Structure 1
């Protein structure tokens, strides 16, 4: 599974809503009755639609469908607005290209809490306690999220979170560095495999090794979790992944989340390569993976990696955007205001960046250069994407949203 191009509305046609979003997390405003749909060069179809449109809770659902039949997987982030790595990783996962099946992503499930930077919304509701077992979810937002998930009837559901403490068998002390799983044996085995794989390949400190744990029993705390309802009422393999949020760089936490999801999806969505940007620094010492014959894949990443060797071990580039005025992705701008976007902070750890590609709205990456100027000529939210390419043709993509005042 590899990140690829995004599917977004054009800058001029987005005219409703003025939600304020941060750099790296795109937000799209659209019509819930008409989804955005686009087939990209990889052959997958991408569409998006909005739930809770016209409210402060407005958020976008992204759906990627491969040509080949396969299972359906759901990834959710941003249930709690102060768990930044979860919703940042979910936003990037929404842009991955899959080889089979359907990927549904809700990166910013709790838009109000994300804007506030708090665990709960402005009424004190904990969104991840609203999914009542055996009944209707408690809030309108939870009801609409559940309607999306139940309509797609997923085989796999992954919810991304963060904790200020490390899990050691007692959730009261913290649940970080853990993958919690549903009761079916397939989920138990997959969680254990993902925890072991990510620890071996991404975690330097043994104190931060990932553990696994079962969901709480029905009727016991914590109760009302989305993944509990998905497992028990839809029969999905369900997982809740938690990373430690304290004293760990955001980029590392996002990588952990991305690698967990990638590993969990390897079998279910017939994904035979790690997502770009989640590959470990050193090749994994995983005999079971090495013994498997590589699947045929005509994707550009495999074709350009050749026989492996030195280039296969290279770290991908990292895309970064700075703005003038500063932090423009976190401001409400005036219609007609021009913002300069600067990609010079992007890096290529094992090479050099050879190309900067930009996309404004839903068009192709048709602007190039280290900097571009974007004029926000209409009210609403306007997504911009930057894709950087290094001298080994490896890429990374990041987005931000420019919001004009209503």
Structure 2
């Protein structure tokens, strides 16, 4: 990708989005980098954060989206890591948990809602308020590159029946197809060592074919972006490996646009030694999981909540145990676990696990915050339903 459709976006404020339920939440400036964030659908169950990183050097804009489906954990965990990247030029916009309510429930869709990734029909209005708010980000920042992160329980074999994992689906642009092929080759050479797990490249379906209404399709057809829908497989693959695949693929797809060779976001492991030395074994574990930057850049941790409720509703007074032991930090260790068990934004308890015994019916959002030994933070959420 050597050409772009637009110039550097000089203002990263969200004035144009205020009509879509956006509330500015914070911003910070560094010498050569500005970071801002704002909330879509503020004050609703769909409230979700948008992060904007802007470099001082002019360049194109990339938009990375995760959590379109709430039970595809690797996508939103990777997007949260990507939101913390340092870039050398242009603008990086991320929506890690696009369908925040579904993410909190660890479900494909929010309760009572249809599939969010079918609500973006090409050439016409979005179908829900959340879809309109998300598309408003596209309209505001006019991204040159759009990457939507997903995962599948199977591996793609040419049809959509058995699963679509290990594929980069692309818009019909030659530049997008070439970049996807190069990214797949890079991942296969450096981060895939198991037979049948190699990444391949596929083209988006035509507008008349199913599935329709996909966000990435609309980004390509209505916004003219080089668009990618990345699918990794959860088949016999641990969460850390899936997150690594996503972050490495995004790195490759935006490197020429936003990153510098050998700098932030590029770990310089072109010789392929990283995958083999990392010990990628049959269950998908890898010692360097989640590495998205140079050796000088700390890798944020991955927060992961496991519950003995197993996704079922619990009864009033029943005690449910929430466990954070599946959380991990690829380049260090987690030194702090904090829990917000009543959804008020304050973290009341600490420790690798906690218990909840609600005495009232309803839905209770629990947030885990983990901090690594370099001070980087990650969060995860679950919703406990009490009947």
Normalised TM-score (structure 2): 0.70
- CA deviations over 1:23-73 (Å, ceiling 9, x no partner): xxxxxxxx9343421013x62101010011111111010000001010000
Taking the aligned partners of 2:151 and 2:61, their CA distance within structure 1 comes to: 25
For 1:175, what is the secondary structure of its paired residue? coil
Residue 267 of structure 1 corresponds to: 256
Structure 2 counterparts to residues 122-141 of structure 1, below 5 A: 122-141=111-130
* Pair 1:216-2:205 in alignment: yes
* Pair 1:94-2:83 in alignment: yes
Conserved 8 A contact 1:100-1:270: yes
Conserved 8 A contact 1:317-1:346: no
Residue 51 of structure 1 corresponds to: 40
- CA deviations over 1:317-373 (Å, ceiling 9, x no partner): 7747799xx9xxxxxxxxxxxxxxx99x96777xx87xx8xxxxxxxxxxxxx4588
Structure 2 counterparts to residues 350-389 of structure 1, below 5 A: 370=335, 379-380=344-345, 386-389=371-374
Taking the aligned partners of 1:245 and 1:162, their CA distance within structure 2 comes to: 7
Taking the aligned partners of 1:377 and 1:130, their CA distance within structure 2 comes to: 32
Taking the aligned partners of 2:304 and 2:65, their CA distance within structure 1 comes to: 27
Q: Which runs of 5+ in 1 are unaligned?
A: 1-30, 286-300, 306-315, 327-341, 357-369, 390-395
Residue 156 of structure 1 corresponds to: 145
CA change 1:224–1:259 in 2 (3 A) is same
CA change 1:173–1:57 in 2 (3 A) is same
Which of the numbers 50, 67, 84 marks the counterpart of 2:56? Answer: 67
* Pair 1:111-2:111 in alignment: no
Residue 24 of structure 2 corresponds to: 34
Taking the aligned partners of 1:387 and 1:128, their CA distance within structure 2 comes to: 33
Once the two structures are TM-superposed, the CA of residue 164 in structure 1 deviates from its matched residue by 1.1
Taking the aligned partners of 2:381 and 2:246, their CA distance within structure 1 comes to: 26
Residue 317 of structure 2 corresponds to: none
For 2:241, what is the secondary structure of its paired residue? helix
* Pair 1:189-2:178 in alignment: yes
Once the two structures are TM-superposed, the CA of residue 116 in structure 1 deviates from its matched residue by 1.7
Q: Which has the higher relative contact order, 1 or 2, with Cα contacts under 8 A spaced 6 or more apart?
A: 1
Taking the aligned partners of 1:232 and 1:128, their CA distance within structure 2 comes to: 15
- CA deviations over 1:109-149 (Å, ceiling 9, x no partner): 00111122111221241000000111111011000000111
For 1:206, what is the secondary structure of its paired residue? coil
Taking the aligned partners of 1:179 and 1:100, their CA distance within structure 2 comes to: 25
Which of the numbers 274, 284, 295 marks the counterpart of 2:272? Answer: 284
- CA deviations over 1:256-279 (Å, ceiling 9, x no partner): 000000000111214323756x84
Taking the aligned partners of 1:304 and 1:255, their CA distance within structure 2 comes to: 18
Taking the aligned partners of 1:251 and 1:165, their CA distance within structure 2 comes to: 17
Tell me the C-alpha RMSD between the 2 structures: 3.7
Q: Aligned residue pairs: how many?
A: 311
- CA deviations over 1:206-247 (Å, ceiling 9, x no partner): 310000000000121011011111111111000000000121
Normalised TM-score (structure 1): 0.67
For 1:212, what is the secondary structure of its paired residue? strand
CA change 1:208–1:124 in 2 (3 A) is same
